[in-house]
Amino acid sequence: MKTEDKEYLQSLLETPSPTGWEVPVATLVRERMGEVADEVQTNTMGSVHAKLAGKGEGPSLMLAAHMDEIGLMVTYITPEGYLYVTSVGGVDAAILPGLRVDVHTESGTLRGVVGRKPIHLIKADDRSKVTPIDELVIDLGMPGEKVQELVRVGDQITFGVCFEEFGEGMAVSRAFDDKIGVYIATRVMEEIAAAGGASGDFIAAATVQEEIGTRGGETSAYGIAPDVALAFDVTHATDYPGIDKTKHGSFTCGQGPVIARGPNINPVVFSRLVAAAEAEGISYQIEAEPGPTGTDARAIQMQRGGIPCGLVSIPLRYMHTPNEVICLQDAEDTIRLLTRFALDLDEDVSFVPGV
Choice among 69, 190, 210, 287 that is catalytic? 210
Describe the chain by its helix, strand, coil percentages, rounded to 5.
30, 25, 40
**Distance (Å) of CA 222 to CA 40, 103, 219, 247, 284:** 17, 34, 5, 34, 30
The Cα–Cα gap between 28 and 12 comes to 7
Backbone angles phi, psi at 280, to 5 degrees: -90, -5
135 burial type by CB count under 10 A (0-12 exposed, 13-18 middle, 19+ buried): exposed
The Cα–Cα gap between 190 and 262 comes to 30
The Cα–Cα gap between 114 and 250 comes to 35
The Cα–Cα gap between 169 and 62 comes to 29
- Counted residue by residue, the chain has a size of 355
- The DSSP result for 243-300, as a single string, is --HHHH----TTS--EEEESTTS-HHHHHHHHHHHHHHT---EEEE--S--SSHHHHH
SS3 16: coil
The answer to whether residue 287 is catalytic is no
- Contact present, 311 and 295 (Cβ < 8 Å): yes
124 burial type by CB count under 10 A (0-12 exposed, 13-18 middle, 19+ buried): exposed
Strand partners, 230: 63, 310
The residues annotated as belonging to the active site are 210
